[in-house]
Chain A
């Protein structure tokens, strides 16, 4: 029996931040993000910005893999579309002479729509195939998009193998040309994304996704159109990744096709598995770990070898091994991820000192 869970109204019972720990955590994170641009050093800002971008993408991956239960390995492609559409759309808008200050307002939502449409197309196989077969189908989408970007014929627009220089966002005259400013933008958008997706799962739309994951024929019998909701899930997920991609393009000075290859898709999925699939906070915990791993390795390698070249080249393979071990560890011992560990901790705290577990 759950004790002490007393509410006077249905509204109070439906709240998301339904205990003090959650409220405190969200407030602390918000305060931290608000203060960081003023107090943190450049290195921390860089790592935190990477986390923010990854986070938005993983939140998107969570919608399709974690909540709807459709295994997709093509999400790096959506990020690529997001990233590439920024310089391309900017160039188009330059050509028609739009002022710089309003370009991000068109580049971001305009191309979220593009990516959502591509997401729907990539999601089409999900209507016929499930599980591993779907993973392979979406995987091919990843290769096709990268192939198109690297294609010689499209190189005048995409830059081909050598990539593209990307503009700094200019929002109503304020140019975000430092990483500090970009971090503030990324953090704000990450909060908005998580909030919006969390809201989704408080309503019939999100519940329909979960129902499809749990038992698709049972969902149909309740009047949920699999066609509509599977594609909607892909579209939402692609749109999040596209937003992450756009921020990626704005954040870095240059984008390259190789940044969006399969390794990135796998990294997104790894973050999700480690953090906890199908849970709001899963991506948050997962991204913290996945972005920290390379940084910690960099630090340890620096300490141990002091920058010797032959040791430094081992870092990339070691990083892959650590990712692999993390995934195996969590799949075997805690398939619900860090989120579950945290939940268990909170439950134990609630009952302490009267009972354990």
Chain B
């Protein structure tokens, strides 16, 4: 697992208080991990802070799963 994926998953586990095993690549924040709309905003803010990037609103709207987040951050850091 890449460093980015590891850090993303750690943030998700910490913020949503879910088991690590549940945070799979395809897991949806809202449907599978029980996040509400405020949680998703908090997650995006946490990603921005962790990776020192800015995630615009239109991009944030498309980050629905763990993989979406990893892909977006990778594309910014690549």
Say whether A associates with B.
Answer: no
